[in-house]
Amino acid sequence: MSADAWWKNGIVYQIYPRSFQDSDGDGIGDLQGIQRRLDYLVELGVDAVWISPIYPSPMADFGYDISDYCNVDPRFGTLEDFDSLAAECKARGLKLVLDFVPNHTSDRHPWFVQSRASRNNTKRDWYLWQDPAPGGGPPNNWLSNFGGPAWTFDEASGQYYCHSFLKEQPDLNWRSPEVRKAMYDVLRFWLRRGVDGFRVDVLYHLIKDVEFRDNPQNPSFQAGQDPSHQLLPLYTTDRPEMQDIIVEMRRVVDEFSDEASARVLIGELYLPLERLMAYYGRTSDGLLQGVQLPFNFQLITAPWHAAEIDRIVRNYEAALPHGAAPNWVLGNHDKPRIASRVGQERARLAAMLLLTLRGTPTLYYGDEIGLTDVPIPPDEVQDPFEKNEPGKGLGRDPQRTPMQWSGAHAAGFTDGTPWLRLGGDWSMRNVEAQQGDPASMLQLYKKLIALRRNEHALHEGSHEQLEAGADVLAYARSAGTRRLVVLLNFATSETPVAAELLPADTVVLASTHADRTGAVKGELVLQPLEGVIVAQ
Cβ 214 vs Cβ 235: under 8 Å: yes
Say which residues have a Cβ less than 8 Å from residue 137's Cβ, sequence separation at least 6.
Answer: none
Task: Give the amino acid at 455.
Answer: E
Alpha-carbon torsion angle 437, 442, 443, 449, nearest 10? -170
State the Cα–Cα distance between residues 345 and 339, nearest whole angstrom.
8
Tell me the DSSP string of 333-395: TTS--HHHHH-HHHHHHHHHHHHHSSSEEEEETTGGGT-------GGG---HHHHHSTTSS--
φ, ψ dihedrals at 294, nearest 5°: -70, 115
Alpha-carbon distance 138 to 153, whole Å? 8
The residues, ordered by sequence, that sit 6+ positions from 314 with a Cβ below 8 Å of its Cβ are 465
Helix (H, G, I), strand (E, B) or coil at 518: strand
Q: Which residues contact 453 (CB under 8 A, 6 or more apart)?
A: 45, 459
The C-alpha atoms of residue 232 and residue 213 are separated, in whole angstroms, by 12
Which amino acid type is present at position 232? L
Burial 306-339 (b: 16+ CB within 10 A, else e): beebbebbeebbeebeeebbbbbbbbbbebbbbb
Question: Which residues are registered as beta bridge partners of 49?
Answer: 13, 96
Question: What value does the CA radius of gyration of the chain take, rounded to a whole number of Å?
Answer: 24
**Measuring CA to CA, how many Å separate 378 from each of 335, 394, 395, 396?**
19, 13, 11, 13
In Å, what is the CA distance from 43 to each residue of 60, 95, 445, 450? Answer: 35, 15, 11, 10
Q: Where in the sequence numbering do the catalytic residues fall?
A: 201, 255
- Cα 530 to Cα 170: distance, rounded to the nearest angstrom: 48
- Cα 521 to Cα 96: distance, rounded to the nearest angstrom: 45
